[in-house]
Amino acid sequence: MSLSVVILAAGRGKRMKSRTPKVLHEVLGRPMLQHVIDAVMPLKPSGIITVVGNGAEEVKQRFSTEGISFVLQKQLLGTGNAVAVARRHIGRGAVLVLNGDGPLITTKTLRILVRNHLKRGNILSFLSFYDESLAGYGRVIRDKAGRVSAIAEDRHVSSADRKQFTELNGGVYLMEAEALQYLGRIRKNRRSGEYYLTDIVSIIARSGKGLDAYECPAEDILGVNSRHDLSVVSGIMRKRINREWMNRGVTFIDPDTTVVHSMVSLGMDTIVYPNTYLEGSTRIGKGCVIYPGSRVLNSLVGDGVMVKDNSLIEDSRVGDGASIGPCAHLRPQSVIGRRAKIGNFVEVKKSSIGEGAKASHLTYLGDAMVGADVNIGAGTITCNYDGTNKYRTVIEPGVFIGSDTQLVAPVKIGRGAYVAAGATVTRDVPPGALAISRVPQKNLDDWVQRKNSATAGRKGRK
Ligand code: UD1
Ligand code: CA
């Protein structure tokens, strides 16, 4: 079956009270429109046309790389007009029409619609659902024989009809070219001045051509019109994603406070503690433990990694068996080797840390290359910035850096060298050497006693 997709996304989204076009608002790290595109992609459509209006430029820019095309609806004359505007760009074959603000639609539900549509040989099929608690959806009107005869918009329906007709329009339509021909017959609604796509239903019903509605879960249909809706929809998607990972063998100590974005992946037997955010394109390996309060963004985390409490990992890579945190910060382009340890209050930026290397406490490593099995003492700082430029620090394998050391870059510490505690290293250290830079210690004997008697003498003279 040749299928094209039309996504309606020209609406204003006034109730969002936002400068951002509605379909660009994010649900679990991805714009709503992206979720809709993700749901239709597996149907392998021949083309995806998005109808844009409000914020058209912003929407186009955001999706310029997605291989979808855009048509501009100059005036928001309603959903019927929006499809009519798109029609000129639609190829032959059937057209799937859906809303850009309904990010919970699933491929599974769309497949059911397609299957029923083909089986029945309809020219128009659409999704419907039941939920008494929802207002503002179109109502599906059926005749005594149960055949769909119309969709009536909620605001134009009497309260008696409201009681009788409880089946609601999901706003997802599958239309054959034959159905699209009826678009021109839709008349402007007298009360709202809009052309309602839903009016095509009664027109087709009168023509006697195949037409029906197919029920789907209400959850799949929920649209976002307000910030409250956005939170509800985000909550449902979070639950769906977390449930899926639990099915695949991931433990969530408290799934209600764990946020996993839709593109993230997690390995089997990984345990995720509460208040954790796994975002963007993050991939977490098998058998990891992510302790509470951590956020991992666009990062690759290997197998058996421990991320201890309150750590932040951004655009970085962490090797198998490494340990990060508590309270560590891996800034972009950090690469942590296997079994390496980045401990309490350690910040790493644009640095690579060798296999088995350790920086256990209170350290800043920026623009550094740290070899395997290096030990970085507490309070070590790479002084990588002179106020104008950034410089690199190279620490070769097996080096031992004593505590409270400053490494003034550019500088290189040779293989196996030692740097004594408290050093300010400004010159390269040859392999195997000990670098020490200290003022020799003096002990002033009996200094305290002498100070006290001097003070007592001054008081006595008063
Ligand atoms: C619409 C349906 C309603 C259905 C509901 C499901 C109509 C008349 N009503 O109502 O039966 O229950 O969807 O969610 O179709 N849009 C445009 N151009 C326009 C107007 C709207 O692109 O001129 C887009 C909007 O951006 C939105 C979608 O079409 O993505 C639906 O429009 P909206 O105004 O939200 O329709 P509803 O009142 O929700
Ligand atoms: Ca809507």
pLDDT of 462 reads 59
Give me ligand 2 centre to Cα 170, in Å: 10
> How far is CA 57 from each of CA 53, 266, 374, 422, rounded to the nearest angstrom?
9, 36, 51, 56
Q: Do 271 and 346 lie in a common domain?
A: yes
Give me 164's structure tokens.
């009788």
Final residue of a structural domain among 172, 200, 221: 221
- Judged by its nearest atom, the ligand closest to the C-alpha of residue 170 is 1
Does 351 sit in the ligand 1 pocket, CB within 6 Å?
A: no
Q: Do 145 and 205 lie in a common domain?
A: yes
Instruction: Give the residue numbers spanning the domain of 342.
Output: 227-435
Q: Do 291 and 421 lie in a common domain?
A: yes
Q: What is the pLDDT of residues 239-259, one digit of tens each?
A: 999 999 999 999 999 999 999
- Report yes or no on 459 lying in a domain: no
Give me ligand 2 centre to Cα 127, in Å: 14
Residues 339-357, mean pLDDT to the nearest whole number: 98
Give me ligand 2 centre to Cα 213, in Å: 18
Give me 257's structure tokens.
């406070």
Q: Do 355 and 264 lie in a common domain?
A: yes
Atom 39 (ligand 1) nearest CA: 137
Residues 268-293, mean pLDDT to the nearest whole number: 98
Q: Is the pLDDT of residue 461 over 80?
A: no
* % of the chain exceeding 70 in pLDDT: 100
Q: What is the pLDDT of residues 83-94, one digit of tens each?
A: 999 998 988 899
Does 82 sit in the ligand 1 pocket, CB within 6 Å?
A: yes
- Number of neighbours of residue 26 by Cβ within 10 angstroms: 15
Residues 201-218, mean pLDDT to the nearest whole number: 97
Residues 41-69, mean pLDDT to the nearest whole number: 92
Give me 16's structure tokens.
């969002």
Does 68 sit in the ligand 1 pocket, CB within 6 Å?
A: no
Catalytic residue among 25, 89, 117, 361: 361
Q: Do 138 and 26 lie in a common domain?
A: yes
The conformation of residue 134, written as its DSSP 8-state character, comes to -
3-state secondary structure at position 114: helix
Q: Round to the nearest angstrom and report the end-to-end CA distance of the chain.
A: 107
Atom of ligand 1 nearest to the CA of 99: 30
Q: How many domains does the chain have?
A: 2
Atom of ligand 1 nearest to the CA of 168: 12
Does 23 sit in the ligand 1 pocket, CB within 6 Å?
A: no
- Report yes or no on 368 lying in a domain: yes
The three-point CA angle 100-104-108 to 5° equals 110
- Report yes or no on 445 lying in a domain: no
Final residue of a structural domain among 159, 190, 221: 221
Q: Do 168 and 271 lie in a common domain?
A: no
3-state secondary structure at position 81: helix
Does 21 sit in the ligand 1 pocket, CB within 6 Å?
A: no
Q: How far apart are CA 55 and CA 433, in angstroms?
A: 63
Q: How far apart are CA 34 and CA 262, in angstroms?
A: 11
pLDDT of 136 reads 86
Q: Do 417 and 323 lie in a common domain?
A: yes
Contact 363, 378 (CB under 8 A): yes
Q: How far apart are CA 27 and CA 143, in angstroms?
A: 39
Q: Please give the full DSSP string across 225-277, using - where no structure is assigned.
A: -SHHHHHHHHHHHHHHHHHHHHHTT-EES-GGGEEE-TT-EE-TT-EE-SSEE
CATH number at residue 53: 3.90.550.10
Contact 267, 251 (CB under 8 A): no
Q: What is the pLDDT of residues 170-205, one digit of tens each?
A: 999 999 999 999 999 999 999 999 999 999 999 999
Q: How far apart are CA 8 and CA 105, in angstroms?
A: 14
Q: Is the pLDDT of residue 40 over 80?
A: yes
pLDDT of 143 reads 95
Q: Do 153 and 27 lie in a common domain?
A: yes
- Give the least confident one: 29-38, 95-104, 132-141, 333-342: 132-141
Pocket test for ligand 1, best of 8, 33, 79, 141 (most atoms within 8 A of CB): 79
3-state secondary structure at position 279: strand
Is residue 329 flagged as an active site residue? Answer: no
Give me ligand 1 centre to Cα 15, in Å: 14
**Helices (H), ranges, 31-78:** 32-40, 56-62
- Report yes or no on 446 lying in a domain: no
Does 105 sit in the ligand 1 pocket, CB within 6 Å?
A: no
Q: Is the pLDDT of residue 326 over 80?
A: yes
Does 13 sit in the ligand 1 pocket, CB within 6 Å?
A: no
Residues 91-116, mean pLDDT to the nearest whole number: 96
- Report yes or no on 444 lying in a domain: no
- Judged by its nearest atom, the ligand closest to the C-alpha of residue 70 is 1
pLDDT of 65 reads 75
Q: Which helix (H) or strand (E) holds 205?
A: helix 199-207
> How far is CA 322 from each of CA 132, 343, 372, rounded to the nearest angstrom?
52, 10, 13
Mean pLDDT of the chain: 96
Give me ligand 1 centre to Cα 65, in Å: 26
Q: Please give the full DSSP string across 408-419, using - where no structure is assigned.
A: ESSEEE-TT-EE
Q: Do 21 and 142 lie in a common domain?
A: yes
3-state secondary structure at position 428: coil
pLDDT of 377 reads 98
Atom 35 (ligand 1) nearest CA: 11
Contact 247, 230 (CB under 8 A): no
Q: Which helix (H) or strand (E) holds 160?
A: helix 159-164
Final residue of a structural domain among 170, 187, 221: 221
- Number of neighbours of residue 389 by Cβ within 10 angstroms: 9
The pTM score is 0.91
Give me ligand 2 centre to Cα 220, in Å: 13
Query: Which residue do the tokens 């007709």 mark?
Result: 165
- Report yes or no on 245 lying in a domain: yes
Q: Do 401 and 379 lie in a common domain?
A: yes
- Report yes or no on 449 lying in a domain: no
- Report yes or no on 196 lying in a domain: yes
Q: How far apart are CA 182 and CA 359, in angstroms?
A: 70
Give me ligand 1 centre to Cα 79, in Å: 6
Residue 252 vs residue 161, higher pLDDT: 252
Q: Do 195 and 239 lie in a common domain?
A: no
Atom of ligand 1 nearest to the CA of 81: 23
Residues 32-42, mean pLDDT to the nearest whole number: 96
Q: Compute the radius of gyration of the chain from its Cα atoms.
A: 32
CATH number at residue 281: 2.160.10.10
Q: Do 187 and 240 lie in a common domain?
A: no
pLDDT of 342 reads 98
Confidence of residue 444 (pLDDT cuts 50, 70, 90): very high
Atom of ligand 1 nearest to the CA of 7: 30
Does 171 sit in the ligand 1 pocket, CB within 6 Å?
A: yes
